Amino acid sequence: MDDRGPGLAKRAARYMLFPTVAALLLAGAVLVLVGRPELSTLAWLAGTLLALLALLLEIALRLGRGEFGLDLIAALAMAGALLLGEHLAGIIIAVMFTGGEALEDFAQRRAQRELTALLAHAPRTAAKYLDSGIAEVPIGTLETGDRILVRHGEVVPADGDVARGPAVLDESALTGEAMPVRRTTGEPVMSGAVNSGDPFDLKLSASADRSTYAGIIRLVRAAQQSKAPMARMADRFALAFLPLTLALAGGAWVLSGDPDRALAVLVVATPCPLILAVPVAIISGVSRCASKGVLVKGGGALETLARVRTVLFDKTGTVTAGSARLVDLKLRPDADPAQVLQLAASLDQVSQHVIAEALVAAARERRLDLVTPTSVKEVPGAGVEGRIDDRSVVVGGWDFVTGRLPGSDFQTELGRWIRRAGAASVLVAVDGALLGAFLFADEVRPEAGTVLRRLRGAGANRIVLATGDRADLAESVAAFLGVDRVAAELKPDDKIRVVEEERREHGPVMMVGDGVNDAPALAAADIGVAMGARGAAASSEAADVVILLDRLDRLASAMSIARRSRGIALESVYAGMGLSIVAMFVAALGYLQPVEGAILQEVIDVAVILNALRALGPSIRDRFGHAHMPGKELSGLEAEHRELMDVLEAINASAERSRHLPGPALRQELEALDRMLNGRLLPHEMKDDREIYEEIRKKAGDDNALAGMSRTHMEIIRMVRSLEMMRAMLAQTEPSDTERYELQRLLHGLAAVTRLHFAQEEEIYRSLESA
């Protein structure tokens, strides 16, 4: 199945050739110094022959594939040096050529090694029921009709039907749907899904090699075979440079009758700015990408990344976070948000359901103290009931919770409220009374907007959202991000069709995804990018680039690095080749001997390689012209925002209660809220403005940087002061309906402005983060 072994062996041999040839060059130089020139000639002859034989073999293999490149000039120069007895010139050319090959092979070997480590976690066995009990067996031995146990967190190895359930499954890698799905006994389950609930039994309806997952892998292989190999930059230059070199060398020989002139032309024409400078610049770019947490599988992938004109994004796990987060809540007017969340999360600690885990995570982000529940009873995939201290608590889905309670007007209102596309709801009842519901959704990544803008700035003219998710959810995300096209409800082969359409109409295409269903499109695109931190192993294997961190903004960084590295490589090529062409004419006129030409070529090589090494670091503009924020500081600021979420929830809860609370109770509510706003929210905003914003302005050298964000701080402070004035006014009389309306409008506005401000700050901070 894997044919990479011979290729790796060949690259390893080429990698070892360089130190051998370089050692023979040095050995010859030492022998000259100790007065043994006849032995130095043998050392240089051996080194040149070794490199020439390896190069002739490579040329023969390439010609068999209908390819040719600049290595032909190097072969002619080395062969000519041997024939004319210019052994020093020959060994210098051999060292230059093998050095360039070794540099490029090093990057490929490193990329393959890191990828192997990344894919080492793929499942290989399944728990199969036998007469003697349960045994771990290789997945390849599973057959139709077998019964297996799928444990929590395991990948379903083959298609089948739930034999004993229910099963709660994460199918996001297959369908793009972020929310878990529930399958009851007898319902079908696709291979590749992840069990996010309790263990369940599965009766296989197909063997592993005939299941959904295996079919997607076959699509990946077909797409890889049909995709044309990446054209390399140096080979494209060879098409023009090779005929010029041969014509000039042949003309010099014919007109002068001196073969040394032809050799001198070939020596200075040996395209070391391409053989060395291009790999150095490209590999430097690959190295910089690796330092950003982006694994680029070779120089060809980096070159293609720099030429992308259309970017296709999967939705779930790529543009969105790929996991549920608490996004909203609606409670009975007399319920306290923090207390209800604390009770619900305390009970849900016992559940392995992904939404339960998200609920517990939300409580811990708000630093709520959770207690251990007792008398717990769980219906997998439906809900949990138990006791927290002396209170009876029920947490779960609509049917699970409302089936234990009498109907009410609030229940009817809540039923309408939770019907939001793409969201999952969790209801909470305490002591037989429905208190409210929490809403969970897979949110768009905070850096997504900045990433799309940076991609457009880096040369991507077109952004497309291609997802297997429902059309209404895809349209909602697309409207938020402002993409150019939306393609929804796609199967894996449909995504390949979209890739081909975009390539045909708009040029080179980059596909970005993380799921098994994205793997065929990743393989079919000109450049495939996989979110490898949490994505499927199949997508990482099919992709040309793997983002090892769960950070979409690293994609924009990688594309910028690729474009800069390619630009530096082109600079080196144009400068080096220009100087080489001048030297070729000088050599053709007889003013340069072969050894002198080789030394001159070395000087040119050093100049262009030093220029190519600039790709290892950021540009001067990036180094000194922009403010940067360390990742640790960014994480701390984002954590502060998460800790303040309970303040926003308290503002919204007060807004809802303001419609019904009597005057004295409303004044107490506002006093408590005022203490929270002045004790937590405003100090946070003032610290941001006076310390963080000021530091960013100093680093950017712009006193007006973030002026709009400072204006939002002023608006938040103004709204808090308006709330204080309104509270003082309400202390005099019973509030009227109009005053209650104005109060509610002010509170909702404050919550909305603050939430938006947090999102804007996080997007700005992420754009400033330095790796």
- What size, in residues, is the chain? 771
Question: Which residues are within 8 A (CB) of 720 and not within 5 positions of it... i.e. 6 or more apart?
Answer: 677, 678, 681, 682, 750
Taking Cα atoms as reference points, which of 131, 121, 134 lies closest to residue 202?
134
171-175, long-range: CB < 8 A, 24+ apart = 172/316, 172/317, 172/322, 172/515, 173/317, 173/514, 173/515, 173/516, 173/517, 173/535, 173/536, 174/212, 174/468, 174/515, 174/516, 174/517, 175/468, 175/469, 175/517
To the nearest 10°, the Cα dihedral for 584, 585, 587, 590?
Answer: 170
Three-class DSSP labels, 302-337: HHHHHCCCEEEECHHHHHECCCCEEEEEEECCCCCH
- Three-state DSSP at 134 gives strand
Q: Are 157 and 142 in contact (CB under 8 A)?
A: yes
Q: Is 2 a catalytic residue?
A: no
Distance CA 284, CA 615 (A): 5
CA distance 548 to 529: 11
204-243 b/e with 16+ CB inside 10 Å = b? bebbbeebbbbbbbebbeebeeeeeebebbbeebbeebbe
Catalytic residue, candidates 105, 159, 260, 314: 314
Contact 397, 369 (CB under 8 A): no
Longest pairwise C-alpha distance within the chain: 113
What is the C-alpha separation between 49 and 71, in angstroms, rounded?
15
Measured CA to CA, the distance from residue 746 to residue 655 in angstroms comes to 8
**CA angle (150, 155, 160) in 5-degree steps:** 60
Structure tokens at 345: 């999360």
Q: Across the beta sheet with 133-138, what order do the strands follow? A: 133-138, 125-130, 147-150, 200-204, 160-164, 188-189
Name the token pair of 235: 């080979």
Two tokens, residue 556: 């924009």
Contact 305/545 with Cβ under 8 angstroms? yes
In 153-186, which positions are buried (b, 16+ CB within 10 angstroms) versus exposed (e)? Answer: ebbbbbbbbbbebbbbbbbbbbbbbbbbbbbeee
Cis bond before residue 166 (omega within 30° of 0): yes
Residues with active-site annotation: 314
